[in-house]
Amino acid sequence: MKTIKTLIAALIVTTGFVLTSCDDNDNEMSGTGSASFEATDAAVDAENISGVYLSVDELQVIANGKVKNTITFEEPETFDLMAYQNGQTKFLGQTDLDAGSYDEVRLILNSTSQAWVEFTDNTTKQISVPSGSTSGYKIFGDFEVLANGLSEIVLDVDLRKALVKEGNGDFKLRPTARLVSKANAGSIQGKVDMDDMQDADKVVVYAYLEGTYNEAEQNEPAEGRTRFEGSINSAVATATGNFTLAFMPEGKYELIVAKYKENQLNNEVEFESSTKVEVEINGSVMSAFNVKARSVTSLLIDIF
């Protein structure tokens, strides 16, 4: 396994990154606030998939298993999740909520056509979403709504983990998506030196909370699971090596860079190797670095 060293080129604290606000009232948890909801994604592994569509009738906001408010669409809100990557989002709506803590959002899918995959040859295949049109596709994560405040919440579906192909060839959408509050999230923007990746058809960067990565995760996964299962987020590097890991909860992270090669027979990319990134900060080399809320951490990744 090669060693990758990286330099942190810049740490930029962005202003205006978050719109969450509240008044000066001492009792921020009493009264009414509001929350807006957006959906985002990370790329799927299969190269022959051109789109992954959801058709949503309703968005429910949940606290302790109880529906507190809903956003209902006059017509099903149908959109391609793969169109919203690298920090781009699909706005789903905004609703008033009692100030307090919430822990779940459910997307109630259209009963006629819940979700489907579109392939590069323009054919489609339905995706199984258990109880998708009844109890809904469930997305978990804690967030707060403050009195007279606006909380911006991102539904990070991350199709790389959520969308799996079963042994019979059918697709299933797993409930692995996460809720992220923009107020508590930052992002990582970086560039991999592609001169050292010339034999790769695809380069993916995975982010793990410090100490959670296990090398066994690069092995062939069990059916219904994915490689690098424990990663918080992932991003495909562009042809020039640029990548963005958006909506990262504040914390200390490690990065894994993986190389993939295309299999011409099945038109899919296959895992080849992975390397754990080492970060050089002020002359000290370490495997983890901090991501702060409302900030962008910029990395230049070179292979030595």
pLDDT per residue as tens digits for the range 67-89:
999 999 999 999 999 999 989 99
Higher-pLDDT residue of 282, 192 = 192
Give the model's pLDDT for residue 20. 43
Single-letter amino acid code for the residue at 218? Q
Higher-pLDDT residue of 281, 84 = 84
Whether residue 142 is predicted with pLDDT greater than 80 in this model: the reply is yes
Whether residue 13 is predicted with pLDDT greater than 50 in this model: the reply is no
- Mean pLDDT, residues 226-251: 92
Whether residue 99 is predicted with pLDDT greater than 80 in this model: the reply is yes
Whether residue 294 is predicted with pLDDT greater than 50 in this model: the reply is yes
d(CA 63, CA 254): 32
pTM: 0.87
**Which residues lie below 8 Å from residue 251, measured CB to CB, with a gap of 6+?**
209, 210, 290, 291
Give the confidence band of 21 by pLDDT, cuts at 50, 70, 90.
very low
Task: Provide the token pair at 223.
Answer: 């059916």
Contact 170, 116 (CB under 8 A): no
